[in-house]
Chain A
Amino acid sequence: MIPAQGCKQKKKSSFFKAIAGFLIISIIGISITRLVLSNILATSGQFLAAANQKIEILKEENQNLENELSRSESLANVENYAKKAQLIKTINVEILTLSKPIASR
């Protein structure tokens, strides 16, 4: 019985050793990963700054395009365009209403 008990204890101790080893390796691995990632991220500020700058440029461009569009479709611009195209203003506009038939058999 005694040798069997000793064998069981030996197995138990090697299991704990394996767990401890795994934990130590994991901790070391995670720490190294964190260190590497921190290092990478810490020096990535320039990308963030560049991205922010790009956002600002795009926002400005968007604003300029929106302004250009609204200026193009402004009534003063449309009127000028019509004048240049020599369009003539209608004098008599007749509005037809649905209450009166415009044609009948």
Chain B
Amino acid sequence: MIRKRFLWIELFLFVFAAAVIGRLFYWQVIKYESFVVAAKSQTEDTVFISAERGKILSSDGSILVSNQKAYLLYAVIPEFKKLKKDNQTYEDLSKENAQKIAAILLEEKLVGVQGEDLEKINRDTLRESLKETIIFQLKQPNLVWVPLAKKVSEETKQKIEGLKIKGIGFQDDTKRFYPEGGIGANLFGFVAKDEAGNDKGYAGLEGYYDDKLKGKSGRLIQEVDSLGRPILIGSSVGSNASNGANLLTTIDRTVQYTVERKLQEGVKRYGAKAGAIIVMDPATGGVLASSSYPTFNLLDSTSSKPETYRNLGISEVYEPGSIFKSITSSVGLDSKAIDTRTACPCTGPLNIAGYEVQTSNNKYYPNSTIAEILQHSDNIGAAFVAQRVGINKFLKYVQDFGFGEITGVDLQGEEAGIIKERKNWGEIDLATAAFGQGLSVTALQMVSALSSIANDGALMKPYVVKKIESQSKTINISPTKVRQVIQPPTAEVVKQLLLGAVENGEAKRIIPHGYRVAGKTGTAQVPIAGHYSTKTTASFVGFGPVESPRFAMIVVLFEPSASIWASETSEPLFFEITKELYPYWGIPVHQ
């Protein structure tokens, strides 16, 4: 009997031991991975280290674009619902609080908007729109957490916190900071969210250098105690964040500020639809300033119209008109098709392939030299020069000056312009191209080509960033010579011809004297549906002082209404800016 009992006890102990071993096997072997994960989740903490976006600096190292703290405003719906009073619907609760928050967000939206732009804004409409967005988010079905507003400032955060609304919170974020306000919007571009919700640069420098500017965020996995504090002797693995590179640009902030202000005034004064100005150092190709108007609000880019994001100086292609005669004269002289004494018959309109080519004022100047052709901005004279050169050579020079292909400037959104293929060129195309019609260019291509004349015939690649400084390395970007387009002696002659075109040209009575600027006006009719309209693009491109060019600049006004002529709009605007730049650079004015 006792033996039997012992046997039962042994059996029980065996089964018990087997059960324990089996359970241990289940925990230690079968469920090993899930327990490791569970243990790690309790003892390890993953910290994401965000990378700071790089700064954009002017040529003197001043900050043009930096970063500042911002917040994502969100709502936790279950918490927010607790605010509902007994006699109140959720819709009323949402409306009441959305109204309060929208009023504060509106104030932030209006920061940086000044003058007429501020007057144009309908505050009630904007407030309603903000309110509707918040209500829409608060009504999202099946969501616990909803974002209400992105990138709100510290000041706005404090004001909203002052409302003491339960369920409303803030999450840390950063946004771009612009010490100069809205200056240089189309040059810098902007930062917004991509499809994955990450910051991404769009347009201008932000778009072109996004990979360099954004840096690389890091991650640190460390052992923590029960209160989430790191254990110093515990294990820690991960990668450090690498901040984005800083861009040192060729932009002169004083020139940029001056140009920006003057362009805005000029567009309004001359009733133009839009305008663009680019200032360049002809010796290096470094862009000193670039402005485009209308522009967008850098402080709130998402509320601006998408068409205002374009930098018209690099992305708007247009027929250049008579400013192209500076190129035609260079081609004629460099190819030896003409010299400075060659006389154009220029007795009247030209008939080419059934088309009649006239001058803009229907006046004709027989026996004109190239100097007189430029001074009178004579279409017949320009066509005469091009005909002497011939299509093949003319086209080759035009391409060598950089037309028909992008310059490769380090800005996002550059267009190449339109130069027809050789097979599509006829005699009439050659004649019209000579005075800048029938082909399309960008303002940057035009100022770059004229810079090559100022630079003894050497075409330089335009660029904006001269140094990229990251934590690990510094990249210096040197000026790049693209090619020698015309010979230095030709360039010297063309400089003097263009100086004469300014000092003895159509606007000689209204422009200030002594600035020794070489340049050319251009009033080009705008082609609409295959025909030229009465609307014009008025531009002036020039450089100065002619003896030792410090800058080259192009001023383009699209469809000015005060006067269609460049000599009465863009040329005076060019000289207004020049008058401010000469004392700034210490360039003497010859009395």
Contacts and interface: CB of A to CB of B under 8 A. Distances in A.
A75 B587 contact: no
Nearest to A46: B229
B231 A45 contact: yes
| Size range of the chain A interface in the assembly | 20 to 34
A7 interface: no
A52 B102 CA distance: 35
B365 interface: no
Contacts of B180: 74-76
Contacts of A60: 69
Pick the most buried of B66, B177, B179, B183: most chain A CB atoms within 10 A of its CB. B179
B230 A45 contact: yes
A31 to B, nearest CB: 15
B588 A66 contact: no
Given A45-B224, A74-B180, A76-B180, A93 B66 contact: no
Interface string A63-105: 1101100110111100000000000001001111100000000
B511 to A, nearest CB: 17
A73 B588 contact: no
A42 B587 contact: no
Contact of A42 (B63, B179, B232, B586): B232
Interface string B521-545: 0000000000000000000000000
A33 interface: no
Given A76-B183, A76-B257, A96 B588 contact: yes
A8 B177 CA distance: 85
Nearest to A79: B257
Contact of A73 (B62, B67, B257, B589): B62
Contacts of A13: none
A66 B224 CA distance: 34
Contacts of A26: none
B232 A41 contact: yes
A1 interface: no
Given A45-B224, A63-B69, A76-B183, A95 B587 contact: yes
B233 interface: yes
Q: Is the interface of B mostly helix, strand, loop or mixed?
A: loop
A67 B232 CA distance: 35
Contacts of B63: 66, 70
Contacts of B586: 95
A49 interface: yes
Contact of B181 (A43, A73, A76): A76
A42 B588 contact: no
B232 A45 contact: yes
A73 B179 CA distance: 8
A35 B225 CA distance: 17
| Size range of the chain B interface in the assembly | 20 to 34
A46 B229 CA distance: 6
A21 to B, nearest CB: 30
A48 B588 contact: no
A44 interface: yes
Contacts of B224: 45
A95 B177 CA distance: 37
Contacts of A46: 227, 229
B214 interface: no
A38 interface: yes
Interface in B223-240: 224-225, 227, 229-234
Contact of A38 (B66, B177, B233, B587): B233
A60 B253 CA distance: 26
B254 interface: yes
A46 B397 CA distance: 72
A76 B69 CA distance: 22
Interface in B551-591: 582-583, 586-589
Contact of B583 (A41, A67, A95): A95
Interface string B51-92: 000000000001100111100000000000000000000000
Contact of A70 (B62, B69, B230): B62
A60 B50 CA distance: 14
Contacts of B179: 67, 70-71, 73-74
A37 to B, nearest CB: 9
A48 B62 contact: no
A45 B68 CA distance: 29
A13 B93 CA distance: 91
Nearest to A72: B179
Nearest to A50: B229
Contacts of A45: 224-225, 229-232
Interface in B192-235: 224-225, 227, 229-234
Contacts of A70: 62-63, 66, 179
Contact of B588 (A41, A75, A76, A97): A97
B247 to A, nearest CB: 15
A105 to B, nearest CB: 24
Interface of A: 38, 41-46, 48-49, 60, 63-64, 66-67, 70-71, 73-76, 90, 93-97
28 contacts: A38-B233, A41-B232, A42-B231, A42-B232, A42-B234, A45-B225, A45-B229, A45-B230, A48-B229, A63-B67, A63-B68, A63-B69, A64-B69, A66-B63, A66-B66, A67-B177, A70-B62, A70-B63, A70-B66, A71-B179, A73-B179, A74-B181, A75-B254, A75-B257, A76-B181, A93-B583, A95-B582, A95-B588
